[in-house]
Amino acid sequence: MQTRTMVGKVEAYAALGAALKNERWAWSGHSEDETVVVVTLWADKLREVPGGGTRYDLFDAPDLDAWRTKRGNRERIRDLLLARDRCDGLFGVVVGHANEAGDAMLEGSVYEARPDLVMRLIDLDEATGEFSAETA
């Protein structure tokens, strides 16, 4: 069984070659030359796909109103558009694990750089930030 190392968000992004615009509220980032995009995907929303692979789907999320207008969502939309337009839809993944209270938006969450997990953007609602992606 592979051991995974939990680190801070900045370190997780750096391990994948990307930087965050703001370490407190950013949910995504990219490299300076915009050839690498990395997005935080929350562990509880990652789903295994029959036949292999992983899917992440935020469409019709019950908590949409809680994050729709957040700065992190607006920046993530820009980064997902960058992935779509400049990276063939591909982006790296930092898996986020919510704090002990189960609240990903509060302090105490931990992050895991996943160089083995590359996702391809399937669909994006540019107005709301809802998106779906699958392993590439």
Determine the 3-state secondary structure of 31 from DSSP: coil
Q: pLDDT at position 1, please?
A: 41
Q: pLDDT at position 77, please?
A: 98
Dist CA 23 CA 46 (whole Å): 23
In this predicted model, what pLDDT tens digit does every residue of 56-83 receive, in sequence order? 999 999 999 999 999 999 999 999 999 9
**Per the confidence metrics, is the pTM higher than 0.95?**
no
Q: How many CA atoms lie within 13 A of 131 on its CB side?
A: 26
In this predicted model, what pLDDT tens digit does every residue of 88-130 receive, in sequence order? 999 999 999 876 654 555 566 789 999 999 999 999 999 999 9
Question: Given pLDDT bands bounded at 50, 70 and 90, which one contains residue 4?
Answer: low
DSSP single-letter state for residue 21: S
